Structure 1
Amino acid sequence: MPAVVTCRAAVLEDVEPLYQMIAGYAEQGIMLPRSREALQRQLRHFVVAEIDNELVGCGSLCQLGKDLVEIRSLGISDGHKGQGIGSKLVDTLLEHAAARKLPKVMALTYEVSFFKKNGFEVVDTSIFPEKVWTDCVHCPKQHCCDEIAVLKVIAV
């Protein structure tokens, strides 16, 4: 019998497991690190996935413009990848974007096939000046970014 995955809003008790998960991805160079303090400040933007009360995935939304939001910090713990948890998190984040009347949802990713499977299309990063001037300008990979931009326009 497959495990039941529940997605919910993050709470204060999730900060440490979120920090550990994101730090693991950051050590691999595939996610930007987040401090515990930053996670506490941004907690209301995070959703988590649980199986039997264990945090097994996370993701967040960051508003970049009046009609644009970015999926950030999307990750799944080792041993739980390939079970549809990432897609469930993305669906939850898309619902949150729609509820906030934000029709454009983007991400920068190395997992293009995952996002295509979830209805996103590859686009040129230059169409997101909000992202470039908000975050990319401070990123160490600014001039050699190898992430791919993806976008999904949703009904709001």
Structure 2
Amino acid sequence: MQTTISCRKASPADIDALHGLIQNYAAQGIMLPRSKEALRRHIDSFFVAEEAEKLIGCGSLFRLGADLVEIRSLGMADGYKGKGLGTMIVSALIEEARAQQVPKIMALTYAVDFFVKNGFTVVEKEIFPEKVWTDCIHCSKKDRCDEIAVVRILD
């Protein structure tokens, strides 16, 4: 039996599953942790992917300035990498940025090839002081950050 994967805006009912997915990545040191309270406060910025009513992926859009948003907390459940799920979520986030009339989307990532395939360009992270002063100053890797910055300019 074939099931369909869908992508939608997150709701408060998704918080526990979102938290579990994000904490799995955070435990590996590849995503910043998010508390359930932070997820509650920012639930309207998240999109989730689900299959058979099970949350299997997520991503959020965080405003860094009038003309810049960041893709953050992009991840998927084990077994779903390489199946187009990440692209589905990023496409939804891009459409959300367009709806908000924000012309630039950035991300800090280890998955550079994925973002390049989705129309992003590698750039120096120092061109995003908004990000540095919002999150990076609180990160344990701030003095030795090994993530790569990518950006996409929307048309």
Query: TM class, shorter-chain normalised?
Result: over 0.9
Q: How does 1:56-71 map to 2 (within 5 A)?
A: 56-71=56-71
2:104 alignment counterpart: 104
Q: How does 1:44-83 map to 2 (within 5 A)?
A: 44-83=44-83
**Which amino acid letter does the alignment assign opposite residue 135 of structure 2?**
D
Distance 2:96 2:2 in 1: 26
Distance 1:153 1:143 in 2: 28
Distance 1:76 1:23 in 2: 12
Compared CA separation, residues 20 and 91, structure 1 to 2 (3 A): same
Compared CA separation, residues 56 and 41, structure 1 to 2 (3 A): same
Distance 1:111 1:2 in 2: 29
Task: Please identify, of 112-121 and 131-140, the stretch whose mean Cα deviation from structure 2 is larger.
Answer: 131-140
Give the Å deviation of 1:3. Answer: 3.9
- Measured on the aligned residues, the alpha-carbon RMSD in Å equals 1.0
**Which amino acid letter does the alignment assign opposite residue 27 of structure 1?**
A
Distance 2:8 2:139 in 1: 30
Q: Deviations over 1:108-145 (max 9, x none)?
A: 00000000010001000011010011111111111100
2:139 alignment counterpart: 139
1:38 alignment counterpart: 38
2:16 alignment counterpart: 16
Distance 2:2 2:126 in 1: 41
Distance 1:83 1:21 in 2: 17
Give the Å deviation of 1:80. Answer: 1.3
Could you state the TM-score of these two structures normalised by the residue count of structure 1? 0.97
Could you state the TM-score of these two structures normalised by the residue count of structure 2? 0.97
Partner SS, residue 98 of structure 1: helix
Distance 2:54 2:136 in 1: 33
Amino-acid identity (%): 57
Partner SS, residue 75 of structure 1: strand
Q: Deviations over 1:24-80 (max 9, x none)?
A: 000000000000111000100000001111110000000001100000000010011
1:116 alignment counterpart: 116
Give the Å deviation of 1:4. Answer: 1.9
Task: Please identify, of 74-83 and 24-33, the stretch whose mean Cα deviation from structure 2 is larger.
Answer: 74-83
For structure 1, list consecutive stretches of 5 or more residues without a partner in the other structure: none
Distance 1:99 1:27 in 2: 33
- Corresponding residue pairs, total: 155
